[in-house]
Amino acid sequence: MDDTTAGTPLNDEPALPGFPAAPAPVAPASPYRVLARKYRPKTFDDLIGQEAMVRTLSNAFETGRIPQAWMLTGVRGVGKTTTARILARGLNYQRQDGSGSPTIHMPELGVHCEAIMESRHVDVLEMDAASHTGIDDVRQIIDGIRYSPVTARYKVYIIDEVHMLSEKAFNAFLKTLEEPPPHAKFIFATTEIRKVPVTILSRCQRFDLRRIEADKLVAHLGRICNAEGVQADQEALAAIARAAEGSARDSLSLMDQAIAHGAGVVTPDTVRDMLGLADRAQIIDLFEAVMRGDVPAAFAGLRSQYDAGADPAVILSDLAAFSHIVTRLKLIPEAAKDPALSEIERTRGLDYAQKLSVRTLSRAWQILLKGIPEVQSSNRPIAAAEMVVVRLAYAADLPTPDEALRALKDGAPVPAGGPSAPTPRPSGPATSGNMALATSQPHPQPRPQAAQPEPTMRLRRFEDVVALAGEKREIVLKAQLERDVRLVRFEEGRIELSLTETGSRTIANDLTRALQQWTGERWMVALSSEEGGATLHEKAVAAERERKEGAANHPLVQAVLSKFPGAQIVNVIERAEKPGEDAETEILGEADALAAHEAEDDDDLF
């Protein structure tokens, strides 16, 4: 034995004289806990985005209406298992002095709280149905449920991914789940609620845990960054919240990865590099280039993002997301207050919302929605993405089919609707000839004058007003005029209407502004207290019913209906009489044709 070995004391024995004392033992470092586990909610107050469920449970606990089973469903990472543990803790909540009752308000740790949250309480049993799918696993629960809890108030069974149980296992649960002992409670969690039999669902109180909204996720991530001492940019947190798609666990996992990737500093560039995302500013520049039909600039922007490491499918997905943002800002300007939007998305999105029509934005969305799967399945994704960009640029200013037909009918030239061949310019890149965006490069061609209202338009009936609303593509206003108002009085320049139960009181102002814009004349639209006549929709329904009743009373139609039992009159079309042939002859001919067709079908049977 050498000197070093001899001088090393064993256990806690003192060192022998003449030998140095052994160094103090170093406590092992505690393992790192990921953010998703470290900041897992412990009370109902910590849950975010599930206010409806918390309110229902609070009222149930306060009134003593506690069911025997709950079914928690939702996408991954919204807190199903965590909610189940908090619910088990609330059922068995007991203070250190022995007082307490089932509650969702737990300001301090109770006797059983810590053990329940750490999944080691003897009376709170958790089972993963993905690995325990058979009837034998359920039989063990059924056999053990007869015994009272050891220390807690209730024996709680938490079954995660319950949809993975077999059919026999579900059937074995039915009787116990419907009439369990008073001391037993069941909490089920699943991401596939449609796979759970309705016989199980009918015995449970169901809660659908919603996706967490982006602004709440951003605020939650900000609080965690402050607690961890991490510097995080608001735009980076918004990008993580978008990538998480409403999942708190996914957002915290991405945050963990972003902190490690950026060495404790989370920036938009860090998140983009980590997730392979495109730069939001470059996405907006690409959107602008496409909307003004500038194919060379769009190709350059797409290629630069691809060279920087962005996935072409992700680029198009972000382009579709920004198209959706612009559409929402155009229809709902208040959406600009969404904290999940970055400043550049908010300012430039509002600018494009004022310049682009809903028609252009809807067409762009449809093209991108169909182009993204093509890029994902293509062997050359960047080439497929470029072709989608070409489609977008050429369709940026295409007229809709009804607009093209109207232009042809009026003898006006139909716009080509796409970029023309690029021509050399003294300065600046080549741009297209037809552009949807008003912020394009200047053109040598003179700008077309805006269409002026037609002051000579005459509206002699209320039906003419409704037809004009349809021609102007005011679909909502047209539907309101047909279904929600009753005509009281109509004169040129003045309309009096009465509202139905579903009518909006703003329709008078809306119609006044629309008529002045369409006709160039001042109209007065007023709401009257008189009842008025039937709505246009009611008149159309009555006329359709009258046509069907008239057709049903015709003897030849009755003969056809009697020959084909179960047949019904679906529609009645008024056709012009042919020369030398009356309506009766035509109906008879059609009846003979039906009879001949039936005879052919009978022959085919033999």
In 3D, which of 433, 454, 455, 457 has the Cα closest to residue 445?
433
Bridge-based pairing of strands 485-491 and 494-499 is: antiparallel
Return the pLDDT at 421. 39
In 3D, which of 117, 48, 127 has the Cα closest to residue 88?
117
The C-alpha torsion from 225 through 226 and 228 to 231, rounded to 10°, is 60
Mean pLDDT across the stretch 221-228?
90
Query: Mean of the per-residue pLDDT values for the chain?
Result: 79
CA distance linking residue 356 with residue 353, whole number of Å = 6
Mean pLDDT across the stretch 494-514?
85
Token pair belonging to 157: 């069974």
pLDDT over 90 (residue 186): yes
pLDDT over 90 (residue 470): no
pLDDT tens digits, one per residue of 124-154: 999 988 888 888 888 988 888 888 999 899 9
pLDDT over 60 (residue 321): yes
Mean pLDDT across the stretch 584-590?
49
The 3-state secondary structure of 109-163 reads CCCCHHHHHCCCCCCEEEEECCCCCCHHHHHHHHHHCCCCCCCCCCEEEEEECHH
Mean pLDDT across the stretch 84-98?
89
- Residue the block writes with tokens 């009743």: 549
pLDDT over 80 (residue 370): yes
CA distance linking residue 580 with residue 598, whole number of Å = 28
Mean pLDDT across the stretch 238-246?
84
pLDDT over 60 (residue 59): yes
CA distance linking residue 597 with residue 582, whole number of Å = 23
pLDDT over 60 (residue 429): no
CB atoms inside a 10 Å sphere around CB 151: 12
Quick one: which H or E segment has residue 508? helix 507-519
Q: How confident is the model at residue 599 (pLDDT cuts 50, 70, 90)?
A: very low
Return the pLDDT at 580. 52
CB atoms inside a 10 Å sphere around CB 496: 19
pLDDT over 70 (residue 389): yes
Q: How confident is the model at residue 401 (pLDDT cuts 50, 70, 90)?
A: low
Q: How confident is the model at residue 19 (pLDDT cuts 50, 70, 90)?
A: very low
SS3 527: strand
- Residue the block writes with tokens 């606990």: 61
Mean pLDDT across the stretch 486-511?
85
pLDDT over 70 (residue 403): no
The residue type at 133: T
Residues recorded for the chain: 606
Counting beta carbons within 10 angstroms of the beta carbon of residue 3, is it exposed (0 to 12), middle (13 to 18) or buried (19 or more)?
exposed
pLDDT over 90 (residue 454): no
Domains of the chain: 35-208 (3.40.50.300), 214-274 (1.10.8.60), 276-410 (1.20.272.10), 462-537 (3.30.300)
Quick one: which H or E segment has residue 207? strand 205-208
CB-based contact 398:274 (threshold 8 Å): no
- Residue the block writes with tokens 């741009």: 431
CB-based contact 104:88 (threshold 8 Å): no
Return the pLDDT at 371. 92
pLDDT over 90 (residue 526): no
Lowest pLDDT segment from 205-214, 308-317, 431-440, 519-528: 431-440
In order of 161, 474, 601, the CA distances from 158 in angstroms are 10, 54, 61
Q: Angle at the Cα of 354 (from 351 to 359), degrees rounded to 5?
A: 120
Mean pLDDT across the stretch 335-350?
80
Quick one: which H or E segment has residue 245? none
CA distance linking residue 215 with residue 227, whole number of Å = 19
What share of the chain in percent tops pLDDT 70?
78
Q: How confident is the model at residue 327 (pLDDT cuts 50, 70, 90)?
A: very high
In 3D, which of 453, 406, 413 has the Cα closest to residue 433?
413
Quick one: which H or E segment has residue 525? strand 524-527
CB-based contact 529:499 (threshold 8 Å): no
Sign of the C-alpha dihedral computed for residues 490, 494, 500 and 504 taken in this order: positive
pLDDT over 90 (residue 156): yes
- Residue the block writes with tokens 């814009």: 517
Return the pLDDT at 196. 92
CA distance linking residue 410 with residue 273, whole number of Å = 54
CA distance linking residue 329 with residue 323, whole number of Å = 10
End-to-end CA distance of the chain: 107
Return the pLDDT at 469. 86
CA distance linking residue 128 with residue 407, whole number of Å = 65
Mean pLDDT across the stretch 490-516?
85
E-only strand ranges, 460-517: 485-491, 494-499
In 3D, which of 224, 203, 268, 209 has the Cα closest to residue 242?
268
- Read off φ and ψ for residue 360, nearest 5 degrees: -65, -45
Return the pLDDT at 3. 44
In 3D, which of 247, 259, 256, 222 has the Cα closest to residue 237?
222
Which residues have C-beta within 8 Å of that of residue 560, sequence separation ≥ 6? 567, 591, 594
- Read off φ and ψ for residue 573, nearest 5 degrees: -110, 125
Return the pLDDT at 16. 41
pLDDT over 80 (residue 69): yes
The C-alpha torsion from 389 through 394 and 399 to 401, rounded to 10°, is -80
